[in-house]
Amino acid sequence: MQIINFNNSCNQRIWSLFSGFVLLFSWISFGDAESAERAFWKAGTSRVKITPEIPIWMSGYASRTAPAEGTRVELWAKALALSTSNQEDEGMIIITMDLVGMGRDLSLDIRESIGNALGLSADQIQLCFSHTHTGPVVGANLRTMYFLNQDQWHALEEYESELKKKVLTLAQESWEKRTRAKLAWANGRATFGVNRRNNREVNVPALRRQGELVGPVDYTVPTLAVRNPEGELSAVVFGYACHSTTLSDQLWSGDYPGYAQLELESRYSGIQAMFWAGCGADINPLPRRKPELAENYGVQLAGAVSRTLAGVMQPISPALQRSSQEIELPFEKIPSREEWNQQSESSNKYVASRANYWLDHLETGAKIPESYPYPITILRLGSAENRLNWLFLGGEVVVDFAIQARSRWGSHFWVSSYTQDVMGYIPSRRVWDEGGYEGDTSSIYYGLPSRWSGDVEEWVWQGIETSLQSLNSQLFQSENNKAEQ
């Protein structure tokens, strides 16, 4: 009787099958390697000064009673255009601005103008704001917080018009200047940010000395290095999760991010330094109010970036994908006309201002929206082995989101907030339940008809997950197409 060794037979079949997969995988990998060899990054930079030339009204603080009186540090808009040699139509332009923020209508207008001029879609342009509180009022942002006369509003409208022209030209220049480049990323660390909800400002110096500061913070300094083919640094794009509120005087300034950019550009001759704000809606630079503190925090942040640049950075292969959407973020409860009428007579002028705004809206015959179109974009740089996922969120996002994103997906997942549209605070469920300014009353100053619904955090995470699924589908389809070729 013949005895068949089933295990050996199976093993031989499995090994043959495995060998075939290895051969196929090797062929695909070799093809990818050849493709990567041929492909390369293209990057271009440009900058333009956006400091107002006349003393218009400043944004950030409701307590101001006069326009700007001069300039401490110039305000800038800066652009980084990115594409790959084999993905020309999939490029991105990241624009950073020393502004407190921008409303949706103006943001869309700028991005669509850029897109039309360059043959791109609006979602290929990301507007990132440093949220400096010593910059100008822009458009309808924080619309019910200001009580200005007609001439003052007119001056702001003229600034907005000039800003649009400058940013359009800026984007075009960066796109036209793209040349071969190398990209790499790493995370640094800076520790001056303090959770303002959990630590009284007057106590911070003592608490810091004693190591007793409390509350969630994000000390990460995400750093993207752009170099020419010879390895020389041409641009650095970096972020930090902390409010730009060191200064509150009447002088134009980029606050600590402005100083950080100046410091880096003095350390590395000829580079362009660009700052983006992370999830620092509930984080302040403390102590504050003195110019020397803003400069010191800027030097600390620049030092963190310099140490990162000098260390081991992860190269990013030339591959680029994105997924953008707007989700409808619901409000908690829209007041009735009777309730708006009552609020319009409030002794709190900001409550009354918001009520009158929405009463005027109702007089036009329009309904008050029950939700808001909230922007979410994920930019994926690199291939599987060295991929960087970069999430862009609108509004003032609290630190919980960045901490949770890193916990879910690792250190190669960055989160920018204050992008595209700064329409209000975006609280986590924890902050919403606690209430206070970030969880509730800030909606008054932003002119929102209500605070967000209690499940605001869940809505945002669902939107992020949907965008990630879209990116993964794109990647799967791309890899299938390569295998078929």
pLDDT tens digits for range 264-321: 999 999 999 999 999 999 999 999 999 999 999 999 999 999 999 999 999 999 999 9
In this predicted structure, the answer to whether residue 262 has a pLDDT above a threshold of 90 is: yes
Q: What is the pTM of this model?
A: 0.90
* Listed residues 344, 363, 382: the one ending a domain: 363
In which band, very low, low, confident or very high, does the pLDDT at 472 lie, cut at 50, 70 and 90? confident
pLDDT recorded at residue 141: 76
Q: Does 320 share its domain with 339? A: no
The pLDDT, as a whole number, for residue 477 is 58
pLDDT confidence of residue 230: 96
Write the CB contacts of 166 (distance below 8 Å, at least 6 apart in sequence).
48, 50, 77
pLDDT at 473: 81
Q: Please, are residues 134 and 252 in contact by the beta-carbon 8 Å criterion?
A: yes
Question: 216 or 13: whose pLDDT is higher?
Answer: 216
Task: Pick the closest to residue 274 from 237, 235, 239, 234 (CA basis).
Answer: 237
The answer to whether residues 177 and 145 belong to one domain is yes
Q: Is residue 385 part of a domain?
A: yes
Same-domain check for residues 357 and 403: no
Q: Does residue 101 sit in the same domain as residue 215?
A: yes
Instruction: Tell whether the model's pLDDT for residue 484 goes beyond 60.
Output: no
Residue 87 reports pLDDT greater than 90: no
Mean pLDDT, to the nearest integer, of 214-238?
98
pLDDT, residue 37, reads 56
Res 150 pLDDT > 70: yes
Average the pLDDT over 62-76 and give the result.
95
Write down the pLDDT at residue 89. Answer: 77
Q: Average of pLDDT values for 322-340?
A: 97
Task: Name the CA dihedral angle for 157, 160, 165, 169, rounded to a multiple of 10 degrees.
Answer: 170
Going by C-alpha positions, the residue among 103, 234, 247, 245 that lies closest to residue 163 is 103
Q: Please check whether residues 141 and 237 belong to one and the same domain.
A: yes
> Does residue 15 lie within any of the structural domains?
no
Q: 126-158: string of b/e by CB count within 10 Å (b at 16+)?
A: bbbbbbbbbbbbbbbbbebbbeeeeeeeebbee
Give domain status of residue 22, yes or no.
no
If asked whether residues 251 and 356 sit together in one domain, one would say: no
The reported pLDDT for the residue numbered 21 is 36
Domain match, 357 and 400 both: no
Model pLDDT, residue 475: 63
Question: Which amino acid is it at 274?
Answer: M
Q: Are 108 and 340 in contact (CB under 8 A)?
A: no
- Judge whether 5 lies within some domain: no
Q: Are residues 261 and 357 in the same domain?
A: no
Q: 216-244 in b/e burial notation, b at 16+ Cβ within 10 A? A: bbbbbbbbbbbbeeeeebbbbbbbbbbbb
> What average pLDDT is seen over the chain?
91
* Secondary structure of the chain in HEC code, one letter for each residue: CCCCCHHHHHHHHHHHHHHHHHHHHHHHHHHHHHHHHHCCEEEEEEEEECCCCCCCCECCCCCCCCCCCEECCCCEEEEEEEEECCCHHHCEEEEEECCCCCCHHHHHHHHHHHHHHHCCCHHHEEEEECCCCCCECCCCCCHHHCCCCHHHHHHHHHHHHHHHHHHHHHHHHHHHCCEEEEEEEEEEECCCEEECCCCCHHHHHHHHHHCCCCCCCCCEEEEEEEECCCCCEEEEEEEECCCCCCCCCCEECCHHHHHHHHHHHHHCCCCEEEEEECCCCCEEECCCCCHHHHHHHHHHHHHHHHHHHHCCCEEECCCEEEEEEEEEEEECCCCCHHHHHHHHCCCCHHHHHHHHHHHHHHHCCCCCCCEEEEEEEEEEECCHHHCEEEEEECCEECCHHHHHHHHHHCCCEEEECCECCCCCEECCHHHHHHCHHHHHHHHHHHCCCCCECCCHHHHHHHHHHHHHHHHHHHHHHHHHHHHHC
Are 136 and 190 within one domain?
yes
Confidence of residue 2 (pLDDT cuts 50, 70, 90): very low
- What is the number of domains present in the chain? 2
At 458 the pLDDT is 98
Lowest mean pLDDT across 24-28, 203-207, 363-367, 443-447: 24-28
Kindly tell me if the per-residue pLDDT of 14 is higher than 50: no
User: What pLDDT sits at residue 11?
Assistant: 42
**Mean pLDDT calculated for residue range 37-50:** 93
Whole-number Å distance between alpha carbons of 246 and 215: 20
CA distances from 268 to 263, 271, 272, 426 (A): 9, 6, 9, 36
275 forms beta bridges with 238
Residue 17: count other Cβ atoms within 10 Å of its Cβ: 10
Asked if 471 and 378 count as a contact pair (C-beta separation under 8 A), the reply is yes
Q: How far apart are CA 127 and CA 235, in angstroms?
A: 17
Query: Which domain range does residue 85 map to?
Result: 40-327+370-484
As a whole number, mean pLDDT of residues 38-48 equals 95
pLDDT on residue 144: 87
Closest by Cα among 242, 246, 252, 260 to 288 = 246
Within a domain: 465: yes
pLDDT digits (tens, 9 = 90+) for 410-448: 999 999 999 999 999 999 999 999 999 999 999 999 999
Give the model's pLDDT for residue 117.
97
pLDDT (tens digit, 9 = 90+) per residue, 174-202?
Answer: 999 999 999 999 999 999 999 999 999 99
Looking at the domain assignment, is residue 466 inside a domain? Answer: yes
Do residues 209 and 346 share a domain? no
**Do 351 and 412 have their domain in common?**
no
CA-nearest of 304, 103, 85, 77 to 187 is 304
Whether 1 is in a domain gets the answer no
How far is Cα 240 from Cα 221, in angstroms, rounded to an integer? Answer: 5
Token duo for residue 193: 């940010």
Q: Which two tokens stand for residue 149?
A: 């006369």
- Please indicate, yes or no, if residue 4 is contained in any of the structural domains: no
Separation of alpha carbons 432 and 416, rounded Å: 20
- Report the chain's C-alpha Rg in angstroms: 25
Q: What is the Cα 153 distance to its own chain's centre?
A: 28
Q: In the predicted model, is pLDDT for residue 28 greater than 60?
A: no
pLDDT in tens, 387-410: 899 999 999 999 999 999 999 999
Peptide bond into 257 cis (omega under 30): no
The length of the chain is 485
pLDDT over 90, % of the chain: 85
Res. 479 pLDDT band, cuts 50 70 90: low
Residue 349 sits in the same domain as residue 281:
no
